[in-house]
């Protein structure tokens, strides 16, 4: 199991009460990948720059793809740039992978806990992966909890990162939180602009 898979499964398990924007989740999944790759020593962080190491096989297809996509020339890529580039459409990619494995079932008509989703996964299979994610969620493991706070499915403050000794991991979690806030600000600006445009047409 990987952190991004655990995060997606946890999101699908708890999000009926906390609908999640796919863009927010995609950014968090990219951050989750980076955390796993830092811990696997596939990359190191120099400040906010991602320095790739060798390209070890991780045993996970999506993580292997992430490793192969790192910028390997100076000045290298910032964590923020990585989140936006790698995160594009990443929630749909991980969801498709879970579906292909039989972890998620779809129905033609049904409600989906990810906003703006074109189709609706309506149930998670009872599997070892789901139980592993549930145990990690219930334990309040700091990395998963920090990512969950960023996407709005957990209420605890991200200020409590006492379980994290790795400065690089803290840097990634902070960058995810900042990116999600930036995306929300962009959504709010767009909503205001669209409302103003509608008012012009209505003559208000």
Q: What phi, psi does 45 have (nearest 5°)?
A: -110, 135
CA distances from 72 to 66, 67, 75, 119 (A): 13, 10, 9, 36
Average pLDDT estimate for 186-191: 78
Count of alpha carbons within 13 Å of 14, Cβ hemisphere only? 18
Q: What is the pLDDT of residue 178?
A: 96
pTM: 0.85
What does DSSP say about strands 77-78 and 49-52: parallel, antiparallel, or unpaired? antiparallel
* Sequence-distant (≥ 6) Cβ neighbours of residue 3 within 8 angstroms: 32, 33, 35, 36, 143, 144, 147
Instruction: Give the range among 6-20, 72-86, 152-166 with minimum mean pLDDT.
Output: 152-166
Taking a C-beta distance cutoff of 8 angstroms, is the pair 115, 21 a contact?
yes
Its sign, for the CA torsion 55, 59, 63, 66, is positive
Q: What is the pLDDT of residue 158?
A: 46
Q: Tokens for 189?
A: 């600006």
Q: What is the pLDDT of residue 121?
A: 47
Average pLDDT estimate for 153-175: 76
pLDDT in tens, 98-107: 999 998 876 5
Check pLDDT > 60 for residue 117.
Answer: no
Q: Tokens for 19?
A: 């609908």
Q: What is the pLDDT of residue 27?
A: 97
- 92 pLDDT band, cuts 50/70/90, is very high
Check pLDDT > 80 for residue 126.
Answer: yes
Q: What is the pLDDT of residue 186?
A: 83
Check pLDDT > 50 for residue 109.
Answer: no
Q: Considering the chain, what is the average pLDDT of its residues?
A: 84
């Amino acid at each position: 199991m990987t952190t991004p898979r655990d995060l997606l499964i946890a999101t699908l398990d708890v999000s009926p009460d906390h609908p999640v924007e796919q863009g927010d989740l995609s950014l968090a999944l990219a951050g989750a990948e980076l955390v796993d790759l830092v811990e696997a020593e596939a990359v190191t962080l120099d400040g906010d720059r991602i320095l790739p190491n060798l390209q070890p096989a991780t045993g996970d297809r999506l993580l292997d793809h992430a490793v192969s996509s790192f910028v390997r020339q100076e000045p290298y890529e910032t964590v923020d740039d990585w989140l936006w580039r790698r995160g594009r459409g990443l929630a749909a990619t991980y969801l498709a992978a879970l579906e292909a494995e039989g972890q998620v079932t779809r129905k033609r008509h049904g409600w989906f806990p990810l906003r703006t989703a074109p189709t609706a996964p309506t149930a998670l299979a009872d599997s070892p992966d789901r139980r592993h994610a549930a145990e990690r969620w219930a334990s309040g493991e700091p990395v998963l909890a920090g990512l969950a706070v960023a996407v709005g499915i957990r209420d605890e403050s991200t200020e409590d990162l006492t379980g994290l000794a790795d400065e690089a991991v803290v840097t990634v979690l902070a960058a995810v939180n900042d990116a999600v806030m930036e995306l929300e600000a962009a959504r709010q600006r767009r909503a205001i602009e669209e409302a103003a445009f509608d008012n012009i047409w209505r003559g208000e």
